[in-house]
């Protein structure tokens, strides 16, 4: 273990060995990295542990700089463990380089089936027993981390003392098709709100779409920039400042009648999967239970004519940006994902995904749970979240339009503080 200091905190790095397949405990092992954070003035105190499960799937835990954001509130009561979920951050990578060593696309796909919420929860249980001596801990799940928390409550509730979920109550029995039929409607509403706030962006987005329809454009990393790829930048509309960020992206996209370098480089940050290939490869799989997804976002998109970019490129209608959707063309267009296109196809056709939730266990839940549900959440549908909230015994919800999906991060601890108070009976 390695420890170091930041302003107001002491951080300790941990590495744990876990089975790739928890059904074969003596089989191949991988490493999972986690970072312990404790307030400097409480380093020797007997504090309860709080496990943070990051959103995604496929992103490593936050890299803190002192007592920032929600972490400041958490450190008042807890010793925090920031988990790099398997395949992310400093944990054993599930990168194109590592996957290439496995050989066939079938072998790669089989390997990746072990990187969903069920495996993440079993990792957490091994880590908990090692760190706490089998004492239950608190779990904080943001977005996909909330999905993982509901899986945890389904299959290992004995490991949880209390749970806080922010923007991450999943539908227990909904399919990926169901999810996208709901979220596409929310994305359309976010587009309408954006263009109402910034009406000049209609013409700017149309001009970019028209240019891309007539030109073969590549981003500086070699990725194809099609009109559909440009539309995918709309994923930022679900964040608290996303509309403003999109406006500034569109503020000056051209230089001498060509797309400018600053614009193209900015799009890399929004469109590249280099930092999180698992996000693209397993995004739809995080909804799959007993059936194949078969590129649900692509299929369901055809039901919403508003997302057809043709009229926008012709100047006849506003361009509708898309949201948190993964399409098969993304795999082919992104240089990081292109070697894995056959693997991605196999995952999309897999029809025997095991269940991620246990409705009967959740109906009898005894763990205190508080969840923030964001009223206009573009990524996690409110209607499905409320159905799940009613299905988990004793779960308390705070439904709010004050924050967007990233409320935990941007609220300076207010969202977490409210959930703690709810669980502790102070509200």
Q: Which residues does the annotation mark as catalytic?
A: 143, 352, 405
- Contact yes or no for 234/187 (Cβ under 8 A): yes
- Contact yes or no for 338/100 (Cβ under 8 A): no
CB atoms within 10 A of CB 24: 9
Q: What is the spatial distance between Cα 240 and Cα 402, in angstroms, rounded to a whole number?
A: 10
Given the structure tokens 């056709």, which residue do they identify? 349
Identify the bridge partners of residue 80 per DSSP, sorted by sequence position.
Answer: 37, 50
Please count the helices (runs of H) and the strands (runs of E) in the chain: 19, 11
Angle between helices 105-112 and 341-349 (to 10 degrees): 60
| Token reading at 312 | 């926008």
| Token reading at 51 | 């496990």
260 phi and psi, to 5 degrees? -80, 155
Q: What is the spatial distance between Cα 99 and Cα 93, in angstroms, rounded to a whole number?
A: 9
- Contact yes or no for 283/326 (Cβ under 8 A): yes
Q: What is the spatial distance between Cα 138 and Cα 157, in angstroms, rounded to a whole number?
A: 11
């Amino acid at each position: 273990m390695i420890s170091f200091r930041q302003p107001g905190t002491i951080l300790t790095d941990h590495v744990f060995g876990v089975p790739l397949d928890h059904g074969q405990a003596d089989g191949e092992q991988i490493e999972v990295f986690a970072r312990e954070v404790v307030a400097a003035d409480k380093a020797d105190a007997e504090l309860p542990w709080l496990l943070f499960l990051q959103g995604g799937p496929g992103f490593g835990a936050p890299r803190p700089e002192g007592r920032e954001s929600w972490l400041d509130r958490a450190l008042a009561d807890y010793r925090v463990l920031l988990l790099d979920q398997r395949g992310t951050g400093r944990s054993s990578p599930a990168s194109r380089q590592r996957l290439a060593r496995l050989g066939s696309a079938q072998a790669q796909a089989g390997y990746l089936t072990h990187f969903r919420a069920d495996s993440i929860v079993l990792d957490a249980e091994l880590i908990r027993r090692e760190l706490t001596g089998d004492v239950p801990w608190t779990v904080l799940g943001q977005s996909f981390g909330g999905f993982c928390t509901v899986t945890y409550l389904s299959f290992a509730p004995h490991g949880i003392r209390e749970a806080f979920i922010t923007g991450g109550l999943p539908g227990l029995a909904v399919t990926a098709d169901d999810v996208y039929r709901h979220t596409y409607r929310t994305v359309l509403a976010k587009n309408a709100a954006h263009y109402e706030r910034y009406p000049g962006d209609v013409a700017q987005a149309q001009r970019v779409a028209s240019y891309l329809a007539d030109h073969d454009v590549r981003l500086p990393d070699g990725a194809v920039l099609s009109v559909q790829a440009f539309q995918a930048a709309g994923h930022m509309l679900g964040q608290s400042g996303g509309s403003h960020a999109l406006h500034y992206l569109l503020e000056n996209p051209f230089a001498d009648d060509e797309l400018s370098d600053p614009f193209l480089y900015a799009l890399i940050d929004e469109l590249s999967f280099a930092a999180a290939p698992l996000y693209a490869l397993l995004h739809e799989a995080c909804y799959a239970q007993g059936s194949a997804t078969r590129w649900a976002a692509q299929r369901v998109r055809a039901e919403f004519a508003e997302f057809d970019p043709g009229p926008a490129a012709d100047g006849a209608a506003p361009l509708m940006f898309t949201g948190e959707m993964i399409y098969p063309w993304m795999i082919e267009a992104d240089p990081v994902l292109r070697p894995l296109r056959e693997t991605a196809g196999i995952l999309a056709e897999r029809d025997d995904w095991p269940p991620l939730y246990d409705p009967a266990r959740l109906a009898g839940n005894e763990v205190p749970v508080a969840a923030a549900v964001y009223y206009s959440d573009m990524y996690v549908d409110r209607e499905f979240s409320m159905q799940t909230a009613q299905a988990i015994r004793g779960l308390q919800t705070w439904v709010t339009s004050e924050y967007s999906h990233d409320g935990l991060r941007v609220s300076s601890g207010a969202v977490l503080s409210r959930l703690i108070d709810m669980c502790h009976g102070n509200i």
